[in-house]
Chains A and B, each alone.
Chain A
Amino acid sequence: MIKNISNLGDAALYCDFGNEVNKEINSKVIRYFKSIQKQNIDGINNLTPSYNKLIISFDLRKKNFQDIKKLIENLDIINEDKIKSNKIKIPVCCDENFCLDINRLEEKLKITRDKIYEKFFGKEFFCYMTGFIAGMPFLGDLDNELRAKRLETPRVKVPKGSVGLTEQFANIYTFESPGGWNIIGNTPIIIFDSSKENNPNLVNPGDEVIFEQITRDQYNNYNE
């Protein structure tokens, strides 16, 4: 299933599953990721699944590229139906103070904000990967009509909880951070909680997410 394994520097394996970004390829990446994670192999430090690549970094004091490559080539991969995925509902408020880039999107995409919300809310998204900043989920795929480029000049500070769109993906800023995604709203729920060491991320690769629109009052009174 892996098209090619090469080395990324002297302490990581670069597993290439293809160049396209789609659910089918990403599901393979996630299956490998979960299978390796389950084995708890001594010497493997980190696994980073992304759209179509999996990077396995290891402790060069204990293992080298050839050792890990052999392990991965001979690994039993769990079946797709054994992968547990969660369905998560995420409330989003699109109040004027939160939808920072809605005017820009209306202009760039040449559709109204009502149309944007109609195509965004209630639709099932798939989590391809999490990362860049802690817990940030990359969710696809957006309707063709909602695909826009990043801001020409990224914001220095995007508020925590902001929900943004870029190309075929939606994501959520888990804490205040610089960023260039088109912000359409804000969620009151905590997406990344570092005090929950066993499960700090609300959304994990392979999970399904549905966004639900809430009013400003519901946002203000939101209790988890």
Chain B
Amino acid sequence: MSKNYFEIKRAGINTTFQDRGRNNLYHIGIPFSGAMDDRNFKISNKLVGNEINFPVIEFAYQGPCLKYFGDNINFAITGDVKFVIKKNDKIIEGNCYQSFTLQNEDKLDIISTNKSVYGYLAISGEFNLEYQWSSCSTNTKANIGANKGKKIEVSQKLYISKINKDLSDKKLNYINTRIENIRVIKGTNFDYFSEEGKNIFFEKEFVVSKLSDRMGMRLEGPKIENIIDTNIKSEGLIKGVIQVPADGNPIIMLSDHGTIGGYPKIGVVISADYDKLVQMTPGSKIKFKEVELDSAETLFKLYELETQNLISQI
């Protein structure tokens, strides 16, 4: 075993290894998984001098507290996160989008995310991880991916197989913006809903429920009435699909979603708004805005250009 490792003093609420996810497995029932917020995932890697799709630690709400043992290593945290570094008796306030150096026996305490859900911890090097279908992404439902497909737990040791030679400081000026409007394309069962239901969907506010996780985001608000059938013959799903079951409350499919489902699809969140969507905390208000396919494609191009531009500034 490597002499460089983290010991987990507190695991946090939902701490897992994630990378860019795995493809070509929906037909056997395995979802894409991968980092929920793709932009923040990529930026975290660039800030420590890694390739942008390296596996990182994703945490939700309360993050882990880790004690480091080994040679000097850099780390960076992205998202909207409060964290501190403890060196002997000194406590240093951390800033997101900036690399820091950890020395032997330093502690990194990722206290919590601020008004957002997910944050990312990248290290200047490689964790010692198993790959499944060329990805480390942990899918805790099917127990697939790094850490035997499980969340990171207290007292566990996370070994580091390689530390980068370049430990220069890196920084990016970036602030996560929050949005209320999520843009969607009409779904394949849009006509299953009453005129009133359709109007409610595009005009009223919904609230993100506590029953949201990496699989899906449940919403509460005015009920959307179905006038055809509250079930369809089960068929494939993709991330961003908004299903409305019989109770009239929408559910948005997120990265670990079941691969098939039998509820009517009222809409699909556009790719450009996915990273922002997943960061909405329970209690946040959402309004859906309709866009056409060609605008959605243009908006995604712009979003990608902006991400590339941010990465190239580091």
Tell me whether A175 and B142 are in contact (CB under 8 A). Answer: yes
Q: Check: B30 CB closer than 8 A to any chain A CB.
A: yes
Asked if A135 meets B297 with Cβ closer than 8 Å, knowing A21-B233, A46-B24, A50-B233, the reply is no
Minimum C-beta distance from B150 to chain A (A):
13
Tell me whether B27 and A33 are in contact (CB under 8 A). Answer: yes
Given the complex of chains A and B, what is the CA–CA distance between A48 and B24 in angstroms? 9
Tell me whether B270 and A205 are in contact (CB under 8 A). Answer: no
Tell me whether B28 and A131 are in contact (CB under 8 A). Answer: yes
Tell me whether B185 and A19 are in contact (CB under 8 A). Answer: no
Interface residues of B in 3-55 (CB under 8 A from A): 23-30, 32
Query: Chain A contacts of B238 at CB under 8 A?
Result: 8-9, 11-12, 46, 55, 57
Tell me whether B185 and A132 are in contact (CB under 8 A). Answer: no
Minimum C-beta distance from A121 to chain B (A):
25
Contact of B28 among A10, A53, A200 (CB under 8 A): A200
Tell me whether B261 and A132 are in contact (CB under 8 A). Answer: yes
The residue in B32, B187, B269, B271 that gathers the most chain A C-beta atoms within 10 A of its C-beta is B271
Tell me whether A133 and B29 are in contact (CB under 8 A). Answer: yes
Interface 0/1 of A193-219, CB less than 8 Å to B: 010010011001100000000000000
Tell me whether B24 and A131 are in contact (CB under 8 A). Answer: no
Q: Check: A111 CB closer than 8 A to any chain B CB.
A: no
Given the complex of chains A and B, what is the CA–CA distance between A177 and B104 in angstroms? 42
Query: Chain B contacts of A54 at CB under 8 A?
Result: 236
Tell me whether A131 and B233 are in contact (CB under 8 A). Answer: no
Query: Chain B contacts of A9 at CB under 8 A?
Result: 185, 238, 240-241, 268-271, 296
Interface residues of B in 137-190 (CB under 8 A from A): 141-144, 149, 185, 187-188
Given the complex of chains A and B, what is the CA–CA distance between A135 and B28 in angstroms? 5
Chain A interface, number of residues (Cβ within 8 angstroms): 47
Given the complex of chains A and B, what is the CA–CA distance between A204 and B25 in angstroms? 12
Q: Check: B132 CB closer than 8 A to any chain A CB.
A: yes
Given the complex of chains A and B, what is the CA–CA distance between A205 and B258 in angstroms? 17
Tell me whether A46 and B23 are in contact (CB under 8 A). Answer: yes
Closest residue of chain B to A174 (Cβ to Cβ) is B29
Closest residue of chain B to A197 (Cβ to Cβ) is B133
Q: Check: A52 CB closer than 8 A to any chain B CB.
A: yes
Given the complex of chains A and B, what is the CA–CA distance between A135 and B260 in angstroms? 12
Tell me whether B32 and A10 are in contact (CB under 8 A). Answer: no
Tell me whether B304 and A61 are in contact (CB under 8 A). Answer: yes
Given the complex of chains A and B, what is the CA–CA distance between A182 and B237 in angstroms? 24
Contact of B26 among A8, A52, A57 (CB under 8 A): A57
Given the complex of chains A and B, what is the CA–CA distance between A197 and B30 in angstroms? 12
Interface 0/1 of A115-154, CB less than 8 Å to B: 0000000000000011111111010000000000000000
Minimum C-beta distance from B147 to chain A (A):
14
Contact of B27 among A12, A48, A138, A175 (CB under 8 A): A48
Contact of B258 among A47, A52, A133 (CB under 8 A): A133
Tell me whether A60 and B271 are in contact (CB under 8 A). Answer: yes
Interface 0/1 of A35-56, CB less than 8 Å to B: 0010000000111111111110
Closest residue of chain A to B267 (Cβ to Cβ) is A9
Interface residues of A in 64-83 (CB under 8 A from B): 64-65
Interface residues of B in 232-276 (CB under 8 A from A): 233-238, 240-241, 258-261, 265, 268-271
Tell me whether A131 and B258 are in contact (CB under 8 A). Answer: yes
Q: Check: B92 CB closer than 8 A to any chain A CB.
A: no
Minimum C-beta distance from A45 to chain B (A):
5
Asked if A55 meets B235 with Cβ closer than 8 Å, knowing A10-B271, A60-B300, the reply is yes
Tell me whether A50 and B236 are in contact (CB under 8 A). Answer: yes
Q: Check: A6 CB closer than 8 A to any chain B CB.
A: yes
Given the complex of chains A and B, what is the CA–CA distance between A135 and B132 in angstroms? 16
Given the complex of chains A and B, what is the CA–CA distance between A12 and B32 in angstroms? 14
Q: Check: B293 CB closer than 8 A to any chain A CB.
A: yes
Query: Chain B contacts of A27 at CB under 8 A?
Result: none
Contact of A53 among B24, B187, B235, B269 (CB under 8 A): B235
Minimum C-beta distance from B129 to chain A (A):
15
Given the complex of chains A and B, what is the CA–CA distance between A194 and B33 in angstroms? 15
Asked if A50 meets B260 with Cβ closer than 8 Å, knowing A14-B188, A57-B238, A205-B27, the reply is yes
Given the complex of chains A and B, what is the CA–CA distance between A172 and B293 in angstroms? 38
15 sampled A-B residue pairs with Cβ under 8 A: A9-B271, A10-B270, A10-B271, A10-B296, A10-B297, A46-B26, A48-B259, A48-B260, A49-B27, A50-B233, A55-B26, A55-B236, A130-B27, A131-B28, A200-B28
